[in-house]
Amino acid sequence: LSKTKNRILKMLVDHQNEYLSGQKICDCLGCSRTAVWKHIKDLQKEGFKIDSVQKKGYRMTAPSHHLSEANILSSLKTKKLGHNLKFHETLPSTQKEAHHLAEDGAADGTLVVADEQSTGRGRLGREWHSPMGTGIWMSLIIRPDIALHQTPQLTLLTSVAVVKAIHDITGVECGIKWPNDILYNGKKIVGILTELQAEASHVKAIIIGIGMNVNADAADFPDELKKRAASIKSLTGREHDRPAIIQAILKHFELLYNTYLEEGFEIIKLLWESYALSLGKEIYARTVKGDTIKGLAKGIDDEGVLLLETRDGTVHHIYSADIEI
Ligand code: BT5
């Protein structure tokens, strides 16, 4: 994406609903009026609603919920995360794409975003429904210097960042179901998939996939998901600005992640617990092996592992499972 186009977009967003003259834009950016005009045409083609009125100039009329590279980059508030952005209208899976990029040495903080996934995936090879234009389907590549067993902590850190971002932008207060679901009234709004590339005991890259139902209507979900899934729009009755939510997730993630790298997991753990839905409750944990353990969710340990106490007083350490509350 051209830097100039991105800067024009930023100027228009910063002066939403005011006219900016072509001359003013040229003076600020040091380019010709023809160049400005061409970039504006491109932005209009990408779906931005920009008026152009003779003698007044250009004006952005409505916040765009449209997802594009320019839209995501225009108000990014992070130092590092997301600046190396790979945006695609459609991909089989952002997670798969991020794995390839990470193997090829993609920088720490690289973000892959798609407006649609044809074969989005969840844990254990499950499908993740990701229709065009309705959600956030993205994968973040990070390269922390941590031990393998610490990686579940990053799923929990991500959940906190996502819950905070949803609240900031939409006002909705979701809760977290260990390990990777963000729910509202028992319905899944967001799923998180954390995967690694490692060599011996050393983490080479962690790929964090986030799938969020933002502007989907009930009709957009297949029947088997209608009872279990919901979008933010279905909760608030209005459309939400996906680029703003992505920017907020990255901002919160970066803050929490820096705290985590400098001070460890303790603060993240406390924050996570404040949003957790299942702690102190009787739950069922279905493990990957297919066993179901019923017990009291006592909390998480310092590594992010769930502690489940069965009737006989044994505390089981649950590394991976599906939970029913
Ligand atoms: C997850 O798996 O919740 C992790 C989902 C991660 C998706 C992101 S999107 C960007 C990136 N690229 C990818 O290809 N994946 C990641 P799990 O806990 O296994 O839950 C999967 C289950 O959630 C499915 O079996 C369905 O029951 C349900 N499900 C599928 N699509 C859904 C949706 N859009 N909303 C809510 N629930 C859904």
Token representation of residue 300: 């998480």
C-alpha of residue 310 to centroid of ligand 1, in Å: 29
Which candidate, 7, 54, 60, places its Cα nearest to that of 30?
A: 7
The closest residue, in CA terms, to atom 21 on ligand 1 is 122
Which candidate, 104, 96, 76, 166, places its Cα nearest to that of 138?
A: 96
Token representation of residue 18: 């005011």
pLDDT digits (tens, 9 = 90+) for 229-260: 999 999 999 999 999 999 999 999 999 999 99
Using an 8 Å Cβ cutoff, are 134 and 231 in contact? yes
Please identify which residue in the block is written with the tokens 């024009």.
Answer: 8
Angstrom distance (rounded) from CA 255 to CA 257: 6
pLDDT of residue 14: 78
Tell the CATH superfamily of the 69-275 domain: Bira Bifunctional Protein; Domain 2 (3.30.930.10)
Using an 8 Å Cβ cutoff, are 247 and 81 in contact? no
Pairing between strand 135-142 and 315-318?
Answer: unpaired
pLDDT of residue 194: 96
pLDDT digits (tens, 9 = 90+) for 276-292: 998 999 999 998 888 99
Query: Is the domain defined by 282-324 classed in CATH 2.30.30.100?
Result: yes
Nearest 5 degrees, angle CA 117-CA 231-CA 322? 75
Q: At 45, is the secondary structure helix, strand, or coil?
A: helix
Using an 8 Å Cβ cutoff, are 70 and 40 in contact? no
Using an 8 Å Cβ cutoff, are 215 and 204 in contact? no
Residues with CB under 6 A from ligand 1: 93-95, 117, 120-124, 126-130, 137-139, 180, 188, 191-193, 209-211, 213, 225, 229
Pairing between strand 57-60 and 202-213?
Answer: unpaired
Q: Per-domain residue ranges for the chain?
A: 3-60, 69-275, 282-324
C-alpha of residue 120 to centroid of ligand 1, in Å: 7
**3-60 to CATH, choices 1.10.15.40, 3.10.20.30, 1.10.10.10, 3.30.43.10:** 1.10.10.10
pLDDT of residue 230: 98
| pLDDT beneath 50: ranges in the chain | none
Angstrom distance (rounded) from CA 159 to CA 204: 22
pLDDT of residue 60: 87
pLDDT of residue 152: 92
